[in-house]
Amino acid sequence: MNESYSFSFADQRAGAYCYGSGGLALVVAGREGSVAAELAGEGPFAVRGPEVGEVALEPLGEGVTFDDGGPRRWACRARGKDARGAKIDGYGSVALGPTELAGTALLRNLWVCFGDELAISVLARRRAAQDEHGDEELAVVVGRGAPLALSLVADPRLSSTYGEDGHVLRAGLELWEDELEGERERGRALRLAGETLAVGELEGARVAFMVWRYGGREGIGCYTIERAAS
């Protein structure tokens, strides 16, 4: 496979959390190992390794590309078995394509799934090291239905709280999906709150697996932060 890739999946019930990139996988808590990947085309995608087990990542709909020439991302259902043979039935994400760190000081990626029919994908980018939060480019896509129908959020907001170790503790999303004659259509915002379940780090990428809640619903997701090498 010539394309670069990354993937993550989570099953809170099974306590299974995994992030992988470039042939390496970090399996929370704290283990690293090699991973084989079959991540070509439109899926289903497969990952396997001695620390990972064997998991199929089945796209819930079409993939999304945030930048011209950037990777394509899919929200996925994750099914398989972990390295102990325990059943995994959760959610995940796959990204296939060129690396996004070229010309970027800080890159944040976030996905969250509330079942098969609601998924959210977030990309936040700071081009220069001196940029502040207000200079960050933020793009959010919401997918609804089966298969997921994708729509770009008109006015997204992302907030994050970090611990002393630099890992994300909590995060919030406020998503205004529509604008009406230049004015926000009040009442159309999705407001989501996320809380970290487990963290890890792989080749400079800080990874937080999070439980997300809104409107009485609970979802699972993964939040990664990457910085350009200084």
Widest Cα–Cα separation across the chain: 56
Per-residue model confidence (pLDDT) at position 39 = 84
- Strand pairing category for 5-11 and 87-96: antiparallel
Per-residue model confidence (pLDDT) at position 190 = 85
Q: Is the pLDDT of residue 173 over 80?
A: yes
Q: What is the pLDDT of residues 117-157, one digit of tens each?
A: 999 999 998 876 555 555 789 999 999 999 999 999 988 99
C-alpha gyration radius of the chain:
17
Q: How far are the Cα atoms of 8, 25, 34, 63 from residue 75, in angstroms, in the given order?
A: 10, 19, 23, 7
Q: What is the pLDDT of residues 174-218, one digit of tens each?
A: 998 764 444 445 556 889 999 999 999 998 899 999 999 998 999
Higher pLDDT, 34 or 7: 7
Per-residue model confidence (pLDDT) at position 128 = 65
Please provide the DSSP assignment of 23-46 as one string.
TEEEEETTEEEE-EEE--TT--EE
- CB count within 10 Å of CB 66 equals 19
Per-residue model confidence (pLDDT) at position 144 = 95
Per-residue model confidence (pLDDT) at position 42 = 83
Per-residue model confidence (pLDDT) at position 183 = 47
d(C-alpha 100, C-alpha 43), whole Å:
21
Paired tokens of 64: 């999304």
d(C-alpha 71, C-alpha 161), whole Å:
27
Per-residue model confidence (pLDDT) at position 30 = 67
Per-residue model confidence (pLDDT) at position 2 = 41
Place of tokens 């890890």: 200
Q: Is the pLDDT of residue 100 over 90?
A: no
Q: What is the pLDDT of residues 8-42, one digit of tens each?
A: 999 999 999 999 998 899 998 768 888 888 888 88
Q: What is the pLDDT of residues 54-82, one digit of tens each?
A: 999 999 999 999 876 678 999 999 999 99
Per-residue model confidence (pLDDT) at position 181 = 42
Q: CA torsion, points 207, 230, 99, 173, in degrees to nearest 10?
A: 40
Q: Is the pLDDT of residue 102 over 80?
A: no
3-class DSSP state for residue 135? helix
